[in-house]
Chain A
Amino acid sequence: MSTSITGRSVIDELPDPEGRPPLTGDRASTGRWGDRLFGGAATSSGVLVIALVSLVGLFLVIQAVPSLLNNNVNFLTSTEWVPSGAQPRFGIAALLWATVITSVIAMAVAVPLGVAVALFITQYAPPWLSKPAAAIIDLLAAVPSIVYGFWGLNVAGQYFEPVQNFLNTYLGWIPLFKDVGTSAKSTLAFAGLILAIMILPIITAISREVFAQVPTAHKEGALALGATKWEMIRTAVLPFGKPGVISGAMLGLGRALGETLAIMILLSALNPNAAWSWSIFTGGETFASKIALNAGEFDSPQKTGAYIAAGLVLFILTFVVNAIARIVIERRKAFTE
């Protein structure tokens, strides 16, 4: 069964055929010093992982709170960002918008594409191509984020100009597609597109894993009833793989929300006095790119605290998204095993 994301499997907890509990538990330990030492080391490593995650949350909260108390505007709804001075004013509304909209664009592109590629690898590819195809998509994950950003800005960005012009011209009456005169390679839309390439391998890998586990009986049953290959996929493969696709998409979303360098390089900063625009063809800053861009300015506790507060919101966002992914895949396990 799939274990890479799900961790423990129910099978591990089942008794053996004679009804005895599995031998691999603590009962197999002899209680010798060696056992106690080794078991203790393993357990403390596990506890250390819990401690690390808790510490991350704790430290971010502790250092964000003093700055948040000094803040003169609503942290959640303000679009201002002036974290220093006697009257600091900073809010995350603009950051949240840019973070969410780039991730949504990335998901809109990467989820259908990732599922299609996973279907290709598991159902359509000739046997000799299936493994290399999977490896090629996996290599997309190996290209560093900073290279994606640099490549996007200097090589691929110019080819996005016609797409943007087209949408501006024909759909510009929708606020989302309004032309605000930003260069195509520095817009939220293009950053979202690059994010889509970066999260594609995650979505593909997890979808692939569940699609490969569809019971052959389901597939052959569908085919025996006269279904075409596509109908077999629609009625047998996709319903079975749905929870896997959802959790893969969630993990991809978590990655997209926290992606730093590519976004930081691509997005152009907004003019602080510019009017607010809902257009995806404008620049902006996400949580991660804002923090990274201003890393050199962490000089006073007040200022650092403001950026840490933004980081805390990002941590909470990704925590929630990843927890949902985990819960969805746990459910699937409960049904299929």
Chain B
Amino acid sequence: MSTLTQAAVEPSTTPPVHTDLTGMSGRRAFTDRAARVVMWGAFLLACIPLVWILVSTLVKGGHMLLSGSWWSLSQNGITSRVVGGGAAHAIQGTLMQAAVTAIMSVPIGVLTAIYLVEYGRGRLAKVVSFMVDILTGVPSIVAALFIYALWVTTFGFQRVPFAVTLALTLLMIPTIVRSTEEMLKLVPNELREASYALGVPKWRTIVSIVLPTAFSGIVTGVLLGLARVMGETAPLIILGPYTKSMAHDLFNGLMATLPTMINQDRTEALQPALDRVWGAALTLILLVFVLNLLGRFLGRFSKVKN
């Protein structure tokens, strides 16, 4: 054994013959390695903007969020030159409009998903499914223009916060339909059949068997949908002008939101105003991220798994 090994190690006069069994030429091995490097590089490259945005907003706006008044005061009576005030009016407006949007879009979205999964057959279901896809792709500015054409031009109403929530509802319905649909499909058919076998009517099967099974998945979809509409600014610019003070009335007057607060002062040159813009941007990002992470976290508790 040992002599054999030694003989093999012995330097020979002829160049060693390639005995690599994979038979991989240098070029193929190089391409393979290059592809690996490219994929890693692509991922790292894609991470840069996220990290960069987070770092810049944290550095420029982080200190704003540390003061208590940021969370409790409005900008009432505060000019661009003065430090102070808070974003409570905008945070409150954003949360309030998001809540109303959810109240309107969740029933429609969930019922549409139930229709598509549990009832819909044939041509109508195909058309509904197609229209949900089209609605998913409707740009937020078009949704806002539609509500403007309906609410302001046709009905002659004022631009009020409620009109904004109508536009946001239009944008949120398709995301809820798609995520709920997916969850309902994951509910095993055996559960439905067992329920039918016990003589439970179809609607009670859906309400008390199917929906509870898919519940946390549906909540995840709703939170992700909310995260999307909270950052939407186009409908706010068309339908919901900014105001510096607190507002609670959805049907009268103006209501501030975080996106419009950013939009209001984004061209300011004065430092106090710019600080507030970065602060509002960071607050908005945090709100959206928290909803996102909460949604994903709740998704883990789902009783149905992909």
Binding site for B on A (CB under 8 A): 3-5, 7-9, 12-13, 22-26, 28-30, 32, 34-35, 37-39, 41-43, 45-50, 52-53, 55-56, 59-60, 62-63, 113, 116-117, 119-121, 123-125, 133, 135-148, 150-151, 155-156, 197, 200, 204, 226, 228-231, 233, 251, 254-255, 257-261, 265, 287-288, 291-292, 295, 298, 301, 304, 307-308, 311, 314-315, 318-319, 321-323, 325-326
Q: List 23 A-B contacts (CB under 8 A).
A: A4-B178, A25-B119, A30-B201, A32-B201, A39-B203, A42-B118, A43-B120, A113-B42, A117-B43, A124-B39, A136-B50, A140-B49, A144-B284, A145-B231, A147-B53, A200-B46, A231-B28, A257-B139, A258-B141, A291-B141, A291-B145, A304-B148, A318-B137
Q: A38 CA to B206 CA in the complex, in Å?
A: 9
Partner among B131, B233, B289 whose Cβ is within 8 Å of the Cβ of A261: B233
- A56 contact set on B, CB distance < 8 A: 138, 142-143, 146, 170
CB-based nearest B residue for A133 = B43
User: Which 5 pairs, one residue from A and one from B, show the smallest C-beta to C-beta distance?
Assistant: A258-B139, A144-B231, A116-B42, A322-B137, A38-B203
Q: Give the contact stretch, choosing among B74-82, B95-103, B149-157, B244-252.
A: B149-157
Partner among A29, A39, A52, A59 whose Cβ is within 8 Å of the Cβ of B154: A59
Question: Would you call A146 and B263 a contact (CB within 8 A)?
Answer: yes
Question: Would you call B281 and A147 a contact (CB within 8 A)?
Answer: yes
- B67 CB within 8 Å of chain A: no
Partner among B32, B116, B142 whose Cβ is within 8 Å of the Cβ of A228: B32
Question: Would you call B40 and A120 a contact (CB within 8 A)?
Answer: yes
- B24 contact set on A, CB distance < 8 A: 226, 228
Q: Give the contact stretch, choosing among B7-15, B83-91, B106-114.
A: B106-114
Q: How large is the interface on B (under 10, 10 to 19, 20 to 34, 35 or more residues)?
A: 35 or more
Partner among A226, A260, A298 whose Cβ is within 8 Å of the Cβ of B23: A226
Binding site for A on B (CB under 8 A): 22-24, 28-29, 31-32, 34-36, 38-40, 42-43, 45-47, 49-50, 52-53, 56-57, 107-108, 111-112, 114-121, 124-143, 145-146, 148-150, 152-154, 170, 173, 177-179, 181-182, 185, 189, 192-193, 196, 201-204, 206-207, 227-228, 230-234, 237-238, 259, 262-263, 266, 277, 281, 284-285, 288-289, 292, 296
- B124 contact set on A, CB distance < 8 A: 43, 46-47
Question: Would you call A52 and B170 a contact (CB within 8 A)?
Answer: yes
- The minimal Cβ–Cβ distance linking B76 to chain A, given in whole angstroms, is 22
- A228 contact set on B, CB distance < 8 A: 24, 28-29, 31-32
CB-based nearest A residue for B277 = A150
